[in-house]
Amino acid sequence: MTITGAHTIGKARCTTFSARLASVGESAKDTGFLQSLQQLCAGSAGSALAHLDLATPATFDNQYYINLLSGDGLLPSDQALAAPSGSGAEDVAALVADYAFDAALFFDDFAASMLRMGRLSPAGGRDAGEVRRNCRVVN
């Protein structure tokens, strides 16, 4: 869950968050946010790009988690992290709140998560993987 904090920088195509656009009007909490995204995506055939973090798009910070608490998570999978429902979801939602209110905690946990992820080996052993030039095509 901590590694999703990387979504504090970057962009996503409208097609990746179209499910969020369909929920305009369901929650007064994020209506303005979703309406602005609808305007961005209208007429773009889904190819327009939106910042994953509209508040501080070029800064690596904990704003992503603050956005989730206010209902302004761009991707449906991100926004779901702040909604406690299901097994263990309360723990995840509590961690979202912890990171939103304590940037140092997020930075420390994120660094540790990146180190753990860097130690992962590909399935089948160390030589079984490849670094792709284009993520969608095998070299």
* Integer angstrom CA distances of residue 112 from 2, 3, 102, 103: 9, 10, 16, 14
* pTM score of the predicted model: 0.82
In a domain, 23, yes or no: yes
Q: How confident is the model at residue 67 (pLDDT cuts 50, 70, 90)?
A: very high
Interatomic CA distance for residues 58 and 15, integer angstroms: 22
Known binding residues: 7-8, 53, 56, 61
Domain count, the chain: 1
In a domain, 61, yes or no: yes
Residue given tokens 């860097």 in the structure block: 118
Gyration radius of the chain over CA positions: 17
Q: Is residue 27 exposed (0-12), middle (13-18) or buried (19+ Cβ within 10 Å)?
A: exposed
In a domain, 94, yes or no: yes
Known binding residues for heme b: 7
Contact 31, 25 (CB under 8 A): yes
Known binding residues for Ca(2+): 8, 53, 56, 61
In a domain, 63, yes or no: yes
Residue 22: what pLDDT? 74
In a domain, 7, yes or no: yes
Q: Summarize pLDDT for 110-139 with one digit per residue, the tens.
A: 999 999 998 887 777 767 777 788 888 888
> Could you tell me which residues are beta bridge partners of residue 12?
50
The domain spanning residue 35 has which CATH number?
Answer: 1.10.420.10
